[in-house]
Structures are given as structure tokens and as C-alpha cells.
Amino acid sequence: MRDDIGQGKIILPAKITRDAVINIRALLSHPMLTGMSRDQAGIPIPAWYVKEVEVIYGGERVAHFEWTSGISRDPFVGFSLRAVKEAPLNVTWKDNKGGVFTHSADVKFTTTTADATR
């Protein structure tokens, strides 16, 4: 069995300015098994997949996804977010076997030294 299940990351753009619509990419290591395949001994492999994903930005739920096992293994999702505040962005994946995985990234505005002194 893979030992990386539940690992993941949230990727934010390198530069974020206030009120810009930014692209968020969220990746989780998960087998996403449909329950329709069999192992080498012919024994059915039970379904194991992420059912629900929540995106929380500064305490507010901005998006949530309902998935079936039709989403590919190591599920990837890219979506937009309007960066209105500097706050943590948490993404929580919940699977059908009770697994809960949360990863986060901090939305921070890019300030150059020139901006700061102006």
C-alpha cells in the first residue's frame, strides 16, 4: 500500500495583489478507487475515494465540491479565488472511509520595497 496517502499541497501564484483573481491549485495523494477493479488474486478492491472537498478562505467557505470515484487518482483541482484579504486558505478533503485531510497556504500580498516606502 502506498504510504503517501493524505499528503498534498496548495499552490498559489508567486505574486498576489489585493483584489486580483488568482488561480489556486490543490493536489492530494489518494488512490480514488471505484470499487470496480480486482487485485491479482481476483478479490474485488473496495471503493475508496474522496467524497467532499471544502475550501475555506479566512474562515469563510468559498467553495465546496462533491465528488464520486470518477475523479482521477491523486485528485487535482484548479479554481479561482479573489484575493480580498491576507488570510489562510484551507482545503479539506473527506473520503468515504472517514479519512479527513487538510492542507493550507497563506494568501499574502506581494509588496515590493518600492511600494513600502512610497
Partner 1 sequence: MGDSLSRRTFLKSSALAVAGLAASASAAAAAPLLRGPDNEPDEDVKKVLHERFGTRPIREGHVTLDVPDVAPDSREVPLLVESDLPMIADNFVKGFHIVVDHNPDIYLAGFNFTAAIGAATLDTRIKMRRSSHVRIIAETSKGELWSTSRFVYTSLNGCV
Question: Which residues form the interface with partner 1 (CB under 8 A)?
Answer: 21, 23, 25, 33-34, 36-37, 57, 60-73, 75-82, 84
Residue among 94 and 116 whose Cβ is closer to partner 1? 94
Distance, in Å, from the CA atom of 3 to the CA atom of 106, rounded to the nearest integer, reads 27
CB of 99 to partner 1, least distance (A): 18
CB of 117 to partner 1, least distance (A): 30
Which DSSP string do the residues of 6-52 spell out, in sequence order? Answer: T-EEEE--S---TT-EEEEEEEE----B-S--B-TTSPBPPPB-EEE
Interstrand relation of 76-82 and 87-95 (parallel, antiparallel or unpaired): unpaired
Residue among 6 and 77 whose Cβ is closer to partner 1? 77
CB of 115 to partner 1, least distance (A): 22
